[in-house]
Each structure stands twice: as C-alpha cells, then as structure tokens.
Structure 1
Amino acid sequence: MSIITLYACQQEKKHLISGEINTPSFIKYIYLLEPDTTQKTKGFKIIDSSKINNHTFYFDYNLQKKSKLITLGFKPSYSNNDLHFYNENDSHLYKTLLLTPQGINLKAGINFSEVEFKDSINLNYDKLLKKLDQLSLQNNEEYKKIINSYSKNQNNNTNEKIYLLESKINTEKIELLKTYIEKNSGNPMSLFAFDSYLFPLLQKKSKEDIQMLERMLNSFNEYANLPVYRNLKYNIQKYKNCAIGGVFPDLEGINTEDQLENLSSYKGNYVLLDFWFKNCKPCALEVPYLKQVHEKYKNKGLKVISYSIDSGNFWKQTVKAEKEMIWHHLSIPNNEYLNPMTNRLCIEAFPTIYLLSPEGVVLENNLSQETILKAVSNYF
C-alpha cells in the first residue's frame, strides 16, 4: 500500500506547491487541475503541468486569495473538447486539497489511495473520505451476505433487500456529512464535501427540499467567488425548476411524423411526461400503467407524452412494435446533445416521469407504476 504524506509548510518557500513522488519512470508529468464550471460537467481543466525530475516536482502558483481548492493528479483517463476526465474507479489518480499561503509540500507514493496530513484541514477531510469509503455498499458485510445468498438460492427479493440496505447506508452517509460540514463550516473543504458528496444524496423532490439546500448554501456565502459555490448554486436552481412547484423547463421534440414540437404547446392540459429509451427494462414495466392512465383520462384534459432519448428511428420501431403504446410520442431532436438536456431536466435514471399542471408547473415527480394512477387521480 502506497503512502502519501502532505505537509503544510510554515516557512517561506520558493515554490508554493512542491513534493517528491515515487512514480514509475514512464509517468513523466503531474498536473494541476481545476473543475469545469462552464459546462457543468465532472471534467477538469488543466491549468499547469510539472515534469517529474528525479521524483520531484513543483508549481509556481500565484495564490491571490487566502485559500483555494486545487486538484493534483496524474494524467486524466480521457479528454473531450479540452476537458479532462477521470473514470469512476480512478479516484486514486487525483486528490483535491486546500491550498493556503503557507503552501503545500507532499511526499507521494505511486497514487493517492493513502494520504497522511499534518495540517488539520486536509487531515479532517481525508478522515471523512475514509469513513465514507467504509460505508460504501461494496464494503458492507450485509451486502456481501445478500449477494452470496442470491448466488446460492436465486432469491426474488434480492433487489429489494439491496435497495433497503443502500437507503440505510445513504442515511448514515448524510448524517456523517452534515456533521462534518457543521464542524468545518469555516473552510472551503466543507463546501467541497457538500457539492461532491452530500448534494447527490439529498432529496430534491419538493420545494421544502430545495429551500433546505438554499439555506445550507447561504451559510457559505463568503465563498461565493469559488467555482464549487457557483456549481452548487447552478444545480440548486436547476432542481428548483424540476421540484414540485417549479416551472418545468420547455423542450423540443420530434414526433412520429418527423415534425418538431414544443412541450409548451400543450399548456392548458395536464401533461404526464415520461422519459425513456429503447432497451430500458424498467421503462417497459411502466407501459401498462401509462396505458391505463391514458385510457382513463385522455378525454378529461390529460396528455400522456413519452419522450424517447434514443437517436435515429429506433424509438419509432419500438412504438410501432409495442401496440400498447397508443399515446403521444416525442424524441430528442438530431441537433440536441443528450447529456446537457438530461442534466437540465434533472434526469438521473430511467424512466423519469413528471406530472405537469396546465400552466407547466411540476405537480409530481419521480412517479412509477402504481403511484402514476394515484397521482393523476388527485387532479381529476
């Protein structure tokens, strides 16, 4: 196991960021990175690189504020349009740190899987990450027992057990993160923990959920100039539009006759909006429920619209072959990029189903199966 030791240097240094790194000879560079904030992705921009000479490196960085979140990393896994990304399992290749005027000097092994710190801010943050890792589903003994039981008996309720266990683990993670953020609200690392770890776990379904997130963000107003703050503010506003009570964003779609339509053209009707794709098995399970609600309320002011995110004509073939899908259908226009659209519409899984009012306001979100009919019946 490799160990990385970081020291917050108290004396004046020639280089603000420097260190020794025990990498193999084929690794030539270490990179100074900052997160992308223009396209709201998980990518990084490379702002500098340092050639590793005799296992040492340095950066002459001009720190203009009292502190800054930086990321040091080895070569990113892949690039796209001048942005650089690490794969989900490559967290050992980079490390986010808090840089202060005292600078950082580090002594590293071959990766960032283990780190020892002497300054309290980076030390406490690293302890948090280790606790979160211990709480991961893959490290949970109960999860291992469920998987072993499934391999032996093929239990039908395995998915339900895993779902309940994951919900329990996420609750523990949320409490751990909230405690850390409250205790460390005076430094940007807690803001980074909020953005990277707590925000994805929290409910964003109702107006009350959004108000709670806004209150949390307001406690970090002194860091409003940081990219991580702006990213959180953007995401909270995005979910505010998709939450119950929000005005759902307008979008375009191609119908089965290859005509372009706007969702806003259906204002005046209640709209049940279903996002799906061709090979999505959970999406197929929703079809009988969508058909039931369509047939019951089609003449009472409800418009059921299934919006496919498939490219080309695959979705049309599915609609034609699936004779149950007798309601209205749209698909993503050819000139629309999928990821920005799904991000803008708060789509994190498929299917995603919204119920909209005649004014385009979100009445219900994250509907599924039995809850679809129940939710719609409340308005008729």
Structure 2
Amino acid sequence: MRYLLSCLTVLLFISCNSKQEEKYAVSGTAPGVLNGIRAYYNVMDERGQLTAIDTSIIMDEKFVFDIKENLESPELRVLKIDGIDSNLLFITSPEGVEISVDKDSIANSTVKGGPINDAMTEYQTEKTNFQAFVKDLSSKRNQAMQDQDRDAFNQYNADYQKGLNNYKQILEKLQRKNEINLVGTMTLGELINMKVYDEKIAREQYNKLEKNVQNLPMSQQIDAYLKRIESVAVGQKAPLFEGHNPDGEVIKLEEIMGKVTLIDFWASWCKPCRAENPNVVAAYEKYHDKGFNILSVSLDQKTGRESWIKAIEDDKMTWNHISRLQYFGPLAKLYNVNAIPATFLLDENGVIIDKNLRGQALHNRLEDLLGEGQSQGAM
C-alpha cells in the first residue's frame, strides 16, 4: 500500500467541466529571495521525477512563467526554487495561479487559483500539521525509550493514537466535501491506505468522482487497486496460479482445488506465521481425511530457499508448498497480500468463502464445513 500512496502523490491531476482548451498562467512573489535566483515550472512523471518545462529568474522578489499550456483540464504542477529544499505542489487553473512563497517553510506558501487550489491547500496544511505532530511525538518516543520510561512511552502511544484518529476524521470530512474532484481522489487514496475505508466504501466514493476525474492516471491507479481487492473478495472465484515446490515440481492451484482448500501465504522469517503453523498443522491433521487441503505459498526470497525448506520440515507441514522466492512478488500481488500471514479459504468450487482465519476460528469454520455428516473423502 505504500507504493500505492506514493504513486497517488506523484500522479495528482485535476479536470474541470469545460471541454475547451484553456491557457493557464502562473506568477508569484518570493519575499526574501535574492535577484537572479531561478524558479522552475515542473511536470512530474509517474516515478516522481521532475522535468522543468519553463524557468523564471526572480527579480524584485517576483517571478512569472511565460509558458501558457494548452490543456483540456487543469493538472498538477510543481514549483521548485534554487536554494529552497522542498517543492510546492499547485494545480493549474483557467483563472490563473498566484503563488506567495514562504522561503523558510514552503509548506506555508499560499496558492490562489480557484476553489480547487483552496481545497488542496486545506488538505496539504492538514497533512503537514499531522506530519509535524508525528515528528515531534517521535522525538519524545525516542527519549522515552532511551530513558526506559515505560509511562512516557505508553503516553506516546496514547497521544499518537489520538492524533491519528483525529487526522483520519479530518481526512474523511475533506474527502466527503470534495468527493467529485481531485482532492477527493487524493484523500480517498490516503483513507484507503490507512484502512479507514474498506473496499466497499472506497468503491462507493470512487464512483462519485466526476467521470473526467476517474479517467486521470491517479484515479485509475485507485481503480486498479480496488479491482485487485475485489478480485479476491469473499464470493469471488480464487485467481489461479502455479509455482515450484521444494523439489522443483510445478504445482497448480487448480490441481489442489475440488476440496475445501486453504491458501496460506507465509514465510520462514515471519514470526506470526511460524507461531500459527502448529494450529494449521492441527487443522490439517483433523480435517484432511474429511476433504481439507492446504497450499502454502512462501514469500521467502532466493537467499532464503534453505530456510524455507527447513521451516517446512521443522514445523511438520506435510501438505503442498510452492514459492517463487520473490518476496512480495507476483503471487502476493495477485491476491493483494501486503502482510503475512494471510489466508484464503476456498470451497469445493474454488470460491473464496473466508479470509484470514486463525486459531480456533479456523477450526470452527472447518467444523461447520466438514464436521460430522459433511465428510467428502480425502484427496
């Protein structure tokens, strides 16, 4: 999910209702910045790389970009000034954009350019304030750890959770207030990343975006992410995949299915996974003869091949195992797995019927499916 959020930050675009091409002008003031310093008007690619498409030399604390872009809709641009570490995001506007740069804290700069820039400024201000809050709190946490002050550390946790919850509420209000435009998309991505919105609410909010906003690369990344989640939701057919077992043989999910099947994403280095393995072993031993199969998918890397094989033996996991030895690679992405352990329980038809069952919950579910009178016979 971090990758997603970073991509969303990179691909901030905005669309307006007008279908006519507009010419967008940008100018500003930079109090305290010396004559001759250069300001750069940048576009940003999907990797976050900046490309200057216009340059202005600051004179008398003022700058004007001569470029007049012909755009069908407003888009994100980035202001960079020599000698100032951070950059400033702004959105082109048919009304023109005027920027007043705060050279000591560019985050405190003001951008005037229509309601969308006002909304974006509000969002960026709240985000900056939260980041400053976390930074200040982190220094207190580090001091508490250094002093081995448990009370202070517990207070840090309480303060952080309170601040985080407050920020989530602010984000949600901003998202609802801007649910058809770019700021709605920006905040939607962050709310998904912070798990405030589940896939159902996220999809509902995404569908409220104006169609031209949905067509933007940033929005399309959210859509693609939601589609990956939706493809492995309860009620969906499990996506098929294959991989090599420790002996180098190809094992296919479709060959394992036909019984109640648990797909178990884990790794030898994952302590919670290893702690859960005895419970999974017990479930397998109890229900395998009644029609329960397991396919474990290891997220070990190439350097961890021997550790993977040893963990299988040590934990007495006698079912099918595969790995591509690619960490959170294609198989994890196929099932939208970004943390382990992660499990998907399939019925006899390969339909996902439950997710992330652990401990007694796994046994209870299997008892419902395969208990007395439900036996299907072993595979």
TM-score (norm 1): 0.71
| Correspondence 1:194 to 2:188 | yes
Query: Could you say which residue in structure 2 is the equivalent of 1:16?
Result: 25
TM-fit CA distance, 1:241: 1.2
Q: 2:244 aligns with which of 245, 254, 262?
A: 254
Q: Encode CA deviations 1:233-282: one digit per residue, 9 max, x unaligned.
A: 21211111122222332222111111222223222122222222332223
What root-mean-square deviation, in Å, do the aligned CA atoms of Structure 1 and Structure 2 show?
4.1
Query: Could you say which residue in structure 2 is the equivalent of 1:177?
Result: 171
Question: Which one-letter code corresponds to 1:217 in the other structure?
Answer: Y
Query: Could you say which residue in structure 2 is the equivalent of 1:4?
Result: none
Q: Which has the higher helix share?
A: 2
TM-fit CA distance, 1:59: 6.9
Tell me, what secondary structure is at the counterpart of 1:279?
A: coil
Tell me: CA distance 1:232–1:347, structure 2 relative to 1, closer, same or farther (3 Å).
same
Query: Could you say which residue in structure 1 is the equivalent of 2:78?
Result: 72
Query: Could you say which residue in structure 1 is the equivalent of 2:120?
Result: 125
Gap runs ≥5 in structure 2: 1-21, 371-379
Q: Distance in 2 between matches of 1:140 and 1:295?
A: 51
Q: Distance in 2 between matches of 1:238 and 1:33?
A: 26
TM-fit CA distance, 1:52: 6.1
- Given that 2:23 and 2:94 are in contact with CA atoms closer than 8 Å, whether structure 1 keeps it comes out as no
Q: 1:329 aligns with which of 302, 316, 321?
A: 321
TM-fit CA distance, 1:151: 5.3
Q: Encode CA deviations 1:4-46: one digit per residue, 9 max, x unaligned.
A: xxxxxxxxx99734556659x9999663114x3xxxxxx3365
Q: Distance in 2 between matches of 1:258 and 1:27?
A: 59
Q: Encode CA deviations 1:321-376: one digit per residue, 9 max, x unaligned.
A: 5521423211016xx79555433321121222222222222222234445443444
Query: Could you say which residue in structure 2 is the equivalent of 1:58?
Result: 65
Q: 1:213 aligns with which of 189, 193, 202?
A: 202
How many percent of aligned residue pairs carry the same amino acid? 19
Tell me, what secondary structure is at the counterpart of 2:332?
A: helix
Q: Distance in 1 between matches of 2:274 and 2:149?
A: 27
- Given that 2:168 and 2:196 are in contact with CA atoms closer than 8 Å, whether structure 1 keeps it comes out as no
Tell me: CA distance 1:213–1:287, structure 2 relative to 1, closer, same or farther (3 Å).
same
Q: Distance in 1 between matches of 2:291 and 2:341?
A: 23
TM-fit CA distance, 1:154: 6.0
- Given that 1:72 and 1:94 are in contact with CA atoms closer than 8 Å, whether structure 2 keeps it comes out as yes
Q: Distance in 2 between matches of 1:228 and 1:320?
A: 43
- Given that 1:256 and 1:316 are in contact with CA atoms closer than 8 Å, whether structure 2 keeps it comes out as no
Tell me, what secondary structure is at the counterpart of 2:282?
A: helix
Q: Distance in 1 between matches of 2:118 and 2:136?
A: 25
Q: Distance in 2 between matches of 1:280 and 1:57?
A: 55
Question: Which one-letter code corresponds to 2:78 in the other structure?
Answer: L
- Given that 2:300 and 2:323 are in contact with CA atoms closer than 8 Å, whether structure 1 keeps it comes out as yes
Q: Distance in 2 between matches of 1:364 and 1:147?
A: 43
- Given that 2:279 and 2:359 are in contact with CA atoms closer than 8 Å, whether structure 1 keeps it comes out as yes
Q: Distance in 2 between matches of 1:147 and 1:324?
A: 40
- Given that 2:111 and 2:118 are in contact with CA atoms closer than 8 Å, whether structure 1 keeps it comes out as yes
Question: Which one-letter code corresponds to 1:275 in the other structure?
Answer: F
Tell me, what secondary structure is at the counterpart of 1:379?
A: helix
Instruction: Give the 5 Å matches for 1:166-315.
Output: 171-195=165-189, 197-202=190-195, 209-222=198-211, 223-312=213-302, 314-315=304-305
Gap runs ≥5 in structure 1: 1-12, 37-42, 76-91
- Given that 1:270 and 1:356 are in contact with CA atoms closer than 8 Å, whether structure 2 keeps it comes out as yes
Tell me, what secondary structure is at the counterpart of 2:65?
A: strand
Query: Could you say which residue in structure 1 is the equivalent of 2:96?
Result: 103
Tell me: CA distance 1:250–1:15, structure 2 relative to 1, closer, same or farther (3 Å).
same
Tell me, what secondary structure is at the counterpart of 1:283?
A: helix
Tell me: CA distance 1:112–1:274, structure 2 relative to 1, closer, same or farther (3 Å).
farther
Tell me: CA distance 1:130–1:28, structure 2 relative to 1, closer, same or farther (3 Å).
closer
Tell me, what secondary structure is at the counterpart of 1:298?
A: helix
Count of residues in Structure 1 that have an aligned counterpart in Structure 2: 334
Q: Distance in 1 between matches of 2:207 and 2:125?
A: 27
Query: Could you say which residue in structure 2 is the equivalent of 1:84?
Result: none
Q: Distance in 2 between matches of 1:261 and 1:276?
A: 17
- Given that 2:112 and 2:118 are in contact with CA atoms closer than 8 Å, whether structure 1 keeps it comes out as yes
Q: Distance in 1 between matches of 2:328 and 2:37?
A: 37
Tell me: CA distance 1:210–1:28, structure 2 relative to 1, closer, same or farther (3 Å).
closer
Tell me: CA distance 1:247–1:111, structure 2 relative to 1, closer, same or farther (3 Å).
farther
Query: Could you say which residue in structure 1 is the equivalent of 2:42?
Result: 31
Q: Encode CA deviations 1:207-231: one digit per residue, 9 max, x unaligned.
A: xx43332221121133232222222
Greater Cα offset, 368-377 or 259-268? 368-377
Greater Cα offset, 253-262 or 107-116? 107-116
TM-fit CA distance, 1:49: 4.0
Larger radius of gyration: 2
Q: Distance in 1 between matches of 2:237 and 2:307?
A: 32
